[in-house]
A and B are shown apart, each in its own frame.
Chain A
């Protein structure tokens, strides 16, 4: 290997081959996916996100939720994700088209959230969980997102948005209330939108064995 040009060409070919396969191919073939029509409801699959949930994606990214929570259901029989009821079917590229960045995650320091919205539907419960995770599960090692909430003195009527059911050491003092900021409202809207329980032809639900 005496020639710089020979070396350079070789690097170009090896490096370029992976670039074509793993970068150019998906850009050409996977980056123009359309949602499918949902014949039952007349809507789209996957459903379009609300504006608030789109704002919630940014809050999810800003606070590094993806550092602990994955969002991918892997297929049977390679893994037990479906048996453990993380979802009913494998996550596929079309599931991601509603996202700006796919929050696939590398760790399950916390639970997988691909179908969080299918397990949880109560807005107030999600707020309580974000504000004081240890109130909901004393063993949880999730950080508190209390900085997304305003702790304030009640002036006049208590806010209708104020968190209910905060008990023990998490309860606000008498005359005070905990009110979600817009960021918290957006994050909750996004979390509740996480629900892949719609049929996709490319990802059939595994049939019972």
Chain B
């Protein structure tokens, strides 16, 4: 085991820690609270789209609710309304804790939180009235992306100032991921918005840029932020350092390099130079390296200390989220092999992968982080351990049902689309029952999100101060040596 400083989460005293936590409370709660509203809205739109795929007459003939609009509203509301602000909230809290400085420049962050939500609201309204750009993950019309970028510029300025004021010492592995995420997102978003939306280059040059953005949004923004939380909160919750400094290094740099190049693997056979696809395929398959590095590193950190997963809500959600990240990466690596991709491309397999990556990985990590962070910001405990348990099982069953239906059904649909002897109509018949399961899964996910929103509201409204006992979802073993996380 490495005793390197970069493997130790932090060495703050509890007084310092609570001073930092309370300084950051308002902006972080602002980001979390608004993001949960968008999570609800986005998942309801996702449910609407899933129903429409099964039963096209549902809300048919209304421009606002045609499938093409509900589906992009759900994707963009979840990506920019939920995932991004949740990642920012987690990032703000982690940055102040790991840089060991109380939060400065409150107003900058509060302003950026309000501006960001305004931008998402304008963007979603734009999509509903028919101003979509039709670029995947960049559907928001130009007038809203300007607002989003302005908001993120404020956050980036704050993050740079905080990092420069940090107490000296080794950078912990989560800080590498935070720097990478806060650096990559504005670069990705500004480049892609400028070249595809604001002053679009000729369409012949656009496919690789769009694929680079869509790949980067996941692998260079949500993944670094999610892993920053996992690498901080897992060691914290079990009271052990991160197992291996070298595995952390390997994971970090391989994610950055291969993640940045892997985007074009989604355009195998598409209209772009062959070398770009080849690089994307190579990088996509190489993503197996960070998969192994993250899996081994976190497993050896947790080995012999898995017991708290049973009772700690945050640890349970985060460990689940990390396992879904590994699943997503393995399936994406397999999906980057051209002969596999020629079957799975254009099928619901891709929808299954997106569900695994965005909800299974990122949302689960975000839930786990919020379960950890919020009681420490407010000094209050979660109102109901039973509801937390419901939230977990509903979310998990929704992901497992939805992803397995879409991945299996997608394979069957893909073989049908590929086979010269099978008509297009048959490919639709084959996938239909699987889409029905996916719609059921969407109901479970809406219910899970609703449970989480109730918990969040309940905690903010409640007056119950935290005593010595945090809310646990199972009885803690009497003879356990595990510390209660602080």
Residues of A within 8 A of B (CB): 1-2, 4, 7-8, 10-11, 14-15, 17-19, 21-23, 26-27, 29-33, 60-68, 70, 72, 74-75, 78-81, 83-84, 90-109, 111, 133-134, 137, 139-147
Contacts and interface: CB of A to CB of B under 8 A. Distances in A.
B207 A27 contact: no
B67 A101 contact: no
B458 interface: no
Contacts of A97: 202-204
Given A63-B130, A79-B342, A22 B203 contact: no
Given A1-B176, A17-B260, A62-B130, 11 more contacts: A15-B256, A18-B260, A18-B263, A23-B208, A63-B66, A90-B269, A91-B271, A93-B204, A107-B351, A141-B53, A143-B68
Given A63-B69, A67-B67, A101-B134, A111 B424 contact: yes
A-B complex: 9 closest residue pairs judged by Cβ atoms = A64-B68, A74-B269, A62-B130, A18-B260, A93-B204, A61-B134, A31-B205, A108-B346, A30-B205
A14 B346 CA distance: 30
Interface stretch (B143-151, B412-420, B473-481): B412-420
Contact of A11 (B179, B208, B264): B179
B269 to A, nearest CB: 3
A128 B239 CA distance: 66
A142 to B, nearest CB: 7
A101 B205 CA distance: 10
B69 A72 contact: no
A78 B342 contact: yes
A143 B134 contact: no
A4 B279 contact: no
Given A15-B184, A18-B212, A104-B267, A144 B61 contact: yes
Nearest to B343: A79
Contacts of B260: 14-15, 17-19
Contacts of A98: 203
B201 interface: yes
Q: Which of B264, B266, B272, B279 has the most CB of A within 10 A?
A: B272
B131 A62 contact: yes
Given A2-B170, A21-B276, A147-B62, A102 B52 contact: no
B253 A14 contact: yes
Nearest to B166: A4
B347 A108 contact: yes
Q: Which of B176, B271, B342 has the most CB of A within 10 A?
A: B271
Contacts of B338: 78
A95 B136 CA distance: 20
A105 B418 CA distance: 17
Contacts, number: 228
B343 to A, nearest CB: 9
Contact of B205 (A8, A26, A62, A79): A26
Contact of A23 (B52, B191, B269): B191
Interface of B: 6, 52-53, 56, 60-63, 66-69, 71-72, 130-136, 163, 170-171, 176, 179-180, 183-184, 187, 191, 195-196, 200-212, 216, 220, 249, 253, 256-257, 260-261, 263-264, 266-273, 276, 279, 338-339, 342, 345-348, 350-351, 417-420, 424-425, 427-429
B203 A74 contact: no
A2 B171 contact: yes
Contacts of A107: 346-348, 350-351
A166 to B, nearest CB: 14
A81 B271 CA distance: 14
Contacts of A72: 269-271
Contacts of A70: 346
A140 B52 CA distance: 12
A22 B188 CA distance: 12
B418 A80 contact: yes
A145 B60 CA distance: 8
B212 A23 contact: yes
A101 B133 contact: yes
B212 A65 contact: no
A80 B196 CA distance: 30
Contacts of B202: 30-33, 96-97
Nearest to A103: B134
Nearest to B204: A93
Contacts of B132: 61-62, 64
25 contacts: A1-B6, A1-B170, A1-B249, A2-B171, A7-B176, A14-B257, A19-B212, A22-B209, A22-B263, A23-B208, A26-B201, A26-B273, A26-B276, A79-B418, A80-B419, A80-B420, A93-B205, A101-B203, A102-B204, A107-B350, A134-B56, A143-B52, A143-B60, A143-B61, A147-B61
Given A67-B71, A100-B203, A106 B268 contact: no
Contact of A22 (B131, B261, B268, B346): B261
Given A90-B269, A102-B271, A22 B208 contact: yes
Contact of B204 (A14, A23, A94, A106): A94
A83 B102 CA distance: 64
B205 A19 contact: no
A34 B203 CA distance: 12
Given A30-B205, A97-B203, A101-B203, A145 B196 contact: no
Contacts of B346: 70, 105-108
A65 B271 contact: no
B139 to A, nearest CB: 8
Given A2-B171, A107-B346, A64 B66 contact: yes
Contacts of B269: 72, 74-75, 78-79, 81, 90
Contacts of A7: 171, 176, 179
A33 B220 CA distance: 31
Given A1-B6, A18-B260, A146 B61 contact: yes
A95 to B, nearest CB: 6
A60 B191 CA distance: 25
A154 B413 CA distance: 45
A31 B180 CA distance: 29
Nearest to B202: A31
B68 A108 contact: no
A160 to B, nearest CB: 25
